[in-house]
Amino acid sequence: MNPPKTEHLPFYITAPGGTDYLFVGVTIAFIAIIMLVGVLYLRLHHLPDHIASTGQKVQLELVGVLGLIAMFTHNNVFWIAALLLALITVPDISTPLASIARSLAKIAARKPATTSASVPITPTEQPLPRETGRA
């Protein structure tokens, strides 16, 4: 019986019972690529949340809800809506309204002034007679 000649075989062909280093390397690379793609996907998916985090709380909550809906339903329309909402600056309406409400509360809490302007004025002049329309 002749012994097998293995000098001409490539490195990825292993002897029976030996470790397949190419398979191990490809498996590690595959797992690493899957992890990187998953991290990239989640990072890109939560981009509107990161952009909206500098805005108002209501805007951040709306963007977060739209992002979750987009992730669970796989509808990109919700993600695009969340991104657009995150990029738009929402005007602050509550601060001026709160200031107006505080000012009105201060005015309502004041006691009425007792000046001469608040005393009713009695008419001293007689009303002018009406004209009858003669020209």
Q: Is the pTM of this model over 0.75?
A: no
* Residue 117 predicted with pLDDT over 60: no
Highest mean pLDDT among 3-7, 31-35, 86-90, 106-110: 31-35
- How far from each other are the two terminal CA atoms of the chain, in whole angstroms? 146
Average pLDDT over residues 97-111: 88
CA distance 63 to 84: 9
* Residue 124 predicted with pLDDT over 90: no
- Judged by average pLDDT, the poorest of 29-33, 49-53, 97-101, 128-132 is 128-132
CA distance 69 to 11: 50
Higher-confidence residue of 3 and 70: namely 70
